[in-house]
Amino acid sequence: MAYVLWTQFLKHNPKNPHWPDRDRFVLSAGHGSMLIYALLHLTGYELPLDELKNFRQWGSRTPGHPEYHLTPGIETTTGPLGQGFGNAVGFAMAEAFLAAHFNREGHSLIDHHTYALVSDGDLMEGVAAEAASLAGHLKLGKLIMLYDDNRISLAAPTSVTFSENVAQRFEAYGWHTQTVEDGNNLDAIAAAITQARAVTDRPSIINVRTIIGYGSPNKADSPAAHGSPLGEEEVRLAKQNLGWPLEPEFLIPDEVLTHFRAAIKSGAQQEADWNARFAAYEQAYPELAAAFKQAFAGQLPDDWAARVPTFAPDEKGTATRNTSGKVLNAIAGQVPTFLGGDADLAGSTKTLIDSDGDFSPEDYGQRNLRFGVREHAMGSIANALALHGGIIKPYTATFLTFSDYMRPAIRLAALMGVEPVFIFTHDSIGLGEDGPTHQPIEHVAALEAIPNLIVFRPADANETVEAWKAAMEHHGGPVALIFTRQNVPTLDPAALREGVAKGGYILSDSEGAPDVLLLSRGSEVHLALAAQARLTSEDVKARVVSIPSMTRFLQQDQVYIDTVLPPDVRARVAVEAGIRMPWDAVLQGGAFIGLDRFGESAPYTTIYEKLGITVEAVVNAAMKELKGVSA
């Protein structure tokens, strides 16, 4: 399958792996990583044979599963099964949107296919089902999946666990399906790909019957060929069986290399033809061409934040999800390829772009992506939107408790260093009557445990503005923005803005050196402020520190951290409607007012009171800490 695709159909330039209009190839069955490494080396990418010889070793560019950014020509990190399938759907959505946005009659800048090689394991995973259902609904005609139907999984034949009719399943999703009975019949595979490319109103899947470990006399067509090396003796027998020379160990005949390296010349010509088309486009549409270049460079327009509002102090305030919606729309008005969507919760997450309609087969140029109740696919699709190029900071939205459904995709975004914005609302017991199934307790901490993910939980409207600005300007990884359902007071914007981007700052200081530090974030910051007022009336000097992003705050230099949290102030109290774990990094053994249990179904004010997250609890903890320090 891969040989036919890469030598007859795939549009790519080995000398420029980032050419915008290349076809995307996803090895979703990432455990077969040596396949793509071999293809990259043979077709002329900057992956020398020594790297293949160093397979899965420290410091190599040929790790056990393909990794984006590490190896030229790898479009996405795959290995966790089903993720590559979801990524492929996202690549196809990106192509459809960008084509609708930039192409003009007689000027086609974006016109490429997405191909993925998927396995039985990919198709067993729920994320693939979610993504396949959405792809069929969206009629993504430039998406072609090659299904390696070898009927063997790691532990046993697939007959033990997987007996569905895959073709019928995908027909029900709205896909075009074909079957090739012999995976070594190159002409049949080529004919099937040709037919799939001709079907433009549906995605396609080609079921190709293959034999795992083909050529191995003792391990072919068995789980023994799946997860472990054949072994030196079995490799020798396989070479003999296939009529291949035993030596040298790594043999690439000259005629084979010449055959594959033809991709260099053809790829250069394809890109040159595209460059000529772009020059004509630039002459006809100079402003669009400039926007195209900026988008594919991943750059924000200079005026991207021009419409972002600030908010006057207001005791009544508003929910931070509402403010987020206003900021999101302000950004969308300035950044044409900023787009995203939600898991059937737009009315609750406030994440619709008001000026646009829904991305659909009738109009792929619209920017509201309706993912349906498919959080896991939503995450993997968003990663591909960010990976594809041309789309600036794609975003997703759902309730915070459902971040668990997205976690594998969020983790891969962080691992790859790509930059989607993951929006989570209904951030605490503050959502009230929906009860403990929907009230996140450990979720902020769980997200903060992911390396290279920046998490913000702002306290009010103006912190929300600054968190969005920080997210848009952050590079090298994803950002999670976490917002309230309930109203929270709006703080004075002059008091706090610069410190939000640093993750933490002095929100309200005492007159003179503080006796106690009150630390918080999100909606509970307002409890800390009220506790400060109460303590001040009792002649206790309290400093309120807002830490909307623990991850970002702990990245600051020690001088800044010590300025905000003086080391000699040992009396410290943190308050958050969640678990203690993140706060131990700054508490120095101090007190924590929070939760070590699930919530309840009741009005949110009642829940806070009954579970002991109150101003009184903060004040009492502060007084106890002060007594302990003085003792």
Rounded Cα gap, residues 404 and 149, in angstroms: 31
Which residues have CB under 8 Å from 434's CB, separation 6+? Answer: 426, 601
- Could you say which of 3.40.50.1820, 2.10.109.10, 3.50.50.60, 3.40.50.970 is the CATH number of the domain covering 2-210+252-266? 3.40.50.970
d(Cα 5, Cα 417) in Å, to the nearest integer? 29
- State the average pLDDT for the chain: 97
CATH number corresponding to 499-630:
3.40.50.920
Q: pLDDT band at residue 496, thresholds of 50, 70 and 90? A: low
pLDDT tens for each residue of 553-589: 999 999 999 999 999 999 999 999 999 999 999 999 9
How many angstroms separate the first and last alpha carbons of the chain?
Answer: 75
What is the pairing mode between strands 542-546 and 505-508? antiparallel
- Tens digit of each residue's pLDDT (9 = 90 or more) over 120-169: 999 999 999 999 999 999 999 999 999 999 999 999 999 999 999 999 99
User: According to the model, what pLDDT value does residue 424 have?
Assistant: 98
The separation between CA 175 and the C-alpha centre of its own chain, rounded to angstroms, equals 25
Three-state SS at 537 = helix
pLDDT tens-place string over residues 405-454: 999 999 999 999 999 999 999 999 999 999 999 999 999 999 999 999 99
Q: How far is CA 12 from CA 54, 69, 333, in A?
A: 25, 17, 34
- What whole-number percentage of the chain has pLDDT above 70? 99
Task: Specify the pLDDT at position 227.
Answer: 80
Question: Which pLDDT tens digit goes with each residue over 312-348?
Answer: 999 999 999 999 999 999 999 999 999 999 999 999 9
pLDDT above 90 (res 628): no
> What homologous superfamily is domain 314-493 in, according to CATH?
Thiamin diphosphate (ThDP)-binding fold, Pyr/PP domains (3.40.50.970)
The answer on pLDDT for 228 being more than 90 is no
Please say if the pLDDT value at position 495 is more than 70. no
Provide, rounded to the nearest whole percent, the portion of the chain with pLDDT above 90: 98
Asked if residue 181 has pLDDT above 90, the reply is yes
pLDDT, tens digit, 9 for 90 and up, residues 78-115:
999 999 999 999 999 999 999 999 999 999 999 999 99
Could you please report the per-residue DSSP string of 326-357?
HHHHHHHTT-TT--EEESS-HHHHT---TT--
Query: Would you call 600 a catalytic residue per the annotation?
Result: no
d(CA 201, CA 522): 46
Q: How many residues does the chain have?
A: 631
Band (pLDDT 50/70/90 cuts) for residue 498 is confident
Give the DSSP H or E segment for 628: helix 615-630
Q: What is the crossing angle of helices 254-284 and 33-43, to 10°?
A: 80
Pick the catalytic residue from 375, 419, 466, 524.
375
By the 8 A CB rule, do 132 and 399 touch? Answer: no
pLDDT at 205 > cutoff 80 = yes
Residue 134, pLDDT score: 98
Per-residue pLDDT averaged across 31-47, rounded? Answer: 97
Rounded to whole angstroms, the Cα distance separating 341 from 331 reads: 14
In the chain, residues under CATH classification 3.40.50.970 are 2-210+252-266, 314-493
Largest CA distance in the chain: 90
Residue 465 binned pLDDT confidence (cut-offs 50, 70, 90): very high
Cβ–Cβ < 8 Å for 399, 345: yes
Give the CA distances from residue 492 to residues 165, 529, 564, in Å, rounded to whole numbers and listed in that order: 61, 13, 19
| Nearest-angstrom CA–CA distance, 142 and 148 | 19
393-409 pLDDT, tens per residue? 999 999 999 999 999 99
pTM of the shown model: 0.98
Residue matched to tokens 């410190």: 499
Q: If pLDDT is split at 50, 70 and 90, which confidence band does 631 have?
A: low
| Structure-block tokens of residue 579 | 């678990």
* Residue 629 banded pLDDT, cuts 50, 70, 90: confident
Nearest CA among 203, 6, 191 for reference residue 96: 203
Whether the per-residue pLDDT at 283 is higher than 90: the answer is yes
Domain with CATH 3.40.50.920 in the chain: 499-630
Q: What does the alpha-carbon distance between residue 119 and residue 149 come to, in Å, rounded to a whole number?
A: 7
Closest CA to 452 of 37, 32, 69, 24: 69
